[in-house]
Amino acid sequence: MFVMLGMRKFVWNMALFEALGAMSLSAQDAEQIQRDPTIHLQFEYIELSQEKLTELTYGAKTSSNDNELRDKLQVMLDAGEATMLETQMLVGLSGARLITQSIKEMIFPTEYDPAWMLNLTDPKKMLEDTDEPQALGPEPLSFETRNLGITLEAEPVLAENKRYLDLRIGPQIVWHVENVVWASWKDKFSEVDVQMPVFYTMRVNTGLIVPVGQYHHACTLTPRDEKGFPDPSRKVMILVKTELVPVGK
């Protein structure tokens, strides 16, 4: 008895939920949802040697379909000849601006107040050895924030035939390499270094016409070495895979 009552209540609640959902969507909205599928974008950052990259890309490129290239890269990944540096995924609708970030905010000074004397009226007192500071070192005046890590922006626009995407992308990876000391202040009361950070950035901004359901080699970048300089012996390939998923499927 209790089971039957519970089932009837469940069925009634489901029917009410569906009715409310139908009331909240206009006919135009429902048609738009059925017409515009969800766009899935997958970005893969694969690192390999300069020699292997040249070997893979040698010869004329006759197609925008890079599935075969991705299969060759998978063999290299399995053999330890390449490394998957990063993988990112974005899901959204056609015409939307999609952004994903995995970052750490680094706040650093960009301008300093110069050192200055506390007692400029009595030069003799300035030369005395006292237990009180007679000057102040440089102090940070203004600051800036830099995002360390990886940021990806994409703007996909689906063609009317739903076979191609007009894709604008802006992937970026930023590393903090080191701090460079430009000047130093030191007395028996304080010690201050005027320093600025050094960053290494891999960035690309481009537009592509990519086929749906395939891989596409978007660009190749040069990573940094241990000292933070470009390492021409190594490369990072960025591949984009696009897929369409109808809403409700």
The mean predicted confidence, pLDDT, of the chain is 82
* CB 82, CB 36: distance < 8 Å: no
* CB 138, CB 113: distance < 8 Å: yes
Residue located via tokens 């206009």: 26
* CB 242, CB 64: distance < 8 Å: no
Neighbours of 45 (CB within 10 A): 20
Q: How far apart are CA 56 and CA 37, in angstroms?
A: 34
At 90 the pLDDT is 93
At 106 the pLDDT is 95
Where does the pLDDT of residue 38 fall: very low under 50, low under 70, confident under 90, or very high at 90 and above? very high
Q: Mean of the pLDDT values across residues 22-33?
A: 51
3-state secondary structure of 12: helix
Q: Mean of the pLDDT values across residues 50-58?
A: 93
Whether residue 10 is predicted with pLDDT greater than 50 in this model: the reply is no
pLDDT tens sequence across 144-194: 999 999 999 999 999 988 999 999 999 999 999 999 988 777 766 667 788
Whether residue 21 is predicted with pLDDT greater than 90 in this model: the reply is no
More confident call, 98 vs 4:
98
Where does the pLDDT of residue 20 fall: very low under 50, low under 70, confident under 90, or very high at 90 and above? very low
